[in-house]
Amino acid sequence: MSSSAKIVVVGSTNVDMVVQAQRIPRPGETVLGGEFTLTDGGKGANQAVAAARLGADVTFIARVGNDAFGERALRQFAGEGIRTEHLIRDPEAAHGVALILVDAGGENAIAVAPGANARLSPDDVQRAEAAVAACDLVLLQLEVPLPAVERAISLAKKHGKRVVLNPAPYTALPDSMLSQVDLLTPNETEAEMLLGGGEAGLSGVAGTAEELIRRGVGTVILTLGKEGVFVVTPDEQFHVAGRKVEVVDTTAAGDAFSGALAVAVAEGQPFRQAVRFAIAASALSVTRLGAQASLPTRDEVEALLHS
């Protein structure tokens, strides 16, 4: 099913080297008996693919490596129907690589070598201004240098576009930047770190989100894993429950959520419906192994919503 949403994603692209093991090893320990898979990942790429599989017209702004993994990424994006005219083949850097350990319960530990991602510049983003001007919404994360993210936000605001920011991995953000974000999608840890610490529990969650609103964020959508999400706007607060599913791998759950939320908001879905749409996409993603391999199609999300 296609969508009316036109989305620009600025962010990272990696190859994920995933080992499934009974448990994640302690420092200095070797755990035998794992299974290895090579998959495509990176928070920016995951969110771009998530949005494309849900039918959006997606333009991805990123740097890929000048190596076999970079070639693989370009083929992957073309195969997903993502617009690649603003993907830069970096002449000097390797493609980003993530080493991911997944335990029997689906929890993960990840180490990333950013490669070409670390070289995405404000000028790279600036060259895509026409794409930003033509889109409905700009979707961002923090696996690329902050100046590139800041340029994307300033271009979005110049052209009156909404900004969705998934503040992961955690990076300290100035209030001047937060105040230009329409929808912020942190998990509990990221939200608390943005404020320099915070309480646990739902009262703490509410207080953390309220403080982010006071700092200028339009709407805070705190993702709570299997507990769903807690939403705080300047006018209301509400909790939307998660969906009970069998968890296999949580690697791309947040990316599935942010990509789906961006699509639903860009389409003009009523806000609570948009949140439920994003929760359904995220729930489906954790039932499968891998990052991009786990991201659902529009038909799958619609089927779950109507089940």
Mean pLDDT computed over 90-94: 96
Does the residue 107 lie in any domain? no
Does the residue 174 lie in any domain? yes
pLDDT the model gives residue 291: 83
Question: For 255-302, what is each residue's pLDDT tens digit?
Answer: 999 999 999 999 999 999 999 999 999 999 999 988 898 999 999 999
Mean pLDDT computed over 226-254: 91
Does the residue 22 lie in any domain? no
pLDDT the model gives residue 192: 87
pLDDT the model gives residue 68: 96
Per the prediction, the chain carries an average pLDDT of 93
Catalytic positions: 255
Domain with 131, as residue range(s), is 6-12+43-94+119-305
Alpha-helix residue ranges (DSSP H) falling in 127-242: 129-134, 146-158, 175-178, 188-194, 201-214
pLDDT the model gives residue 7: 98
Does the residue 74 lie in any domain? yes
Does the residue 190 lie in any domain? yes
- Number of compact structural domains in the chain: 1
Residues whose CB falls within 8 Å of the CB of residue 271, separated by 6 or more in sequence, listed in order: 265
Tell me how crowded residue 92 is: count the other CB atoms within 10 A of its CB. 8
Question: For 170-221, what is each residue's pLDDT tens digit?
Answer: 999 999 999 999 999 999 889 988 887 644 445 578 888 999 999 999 999 9
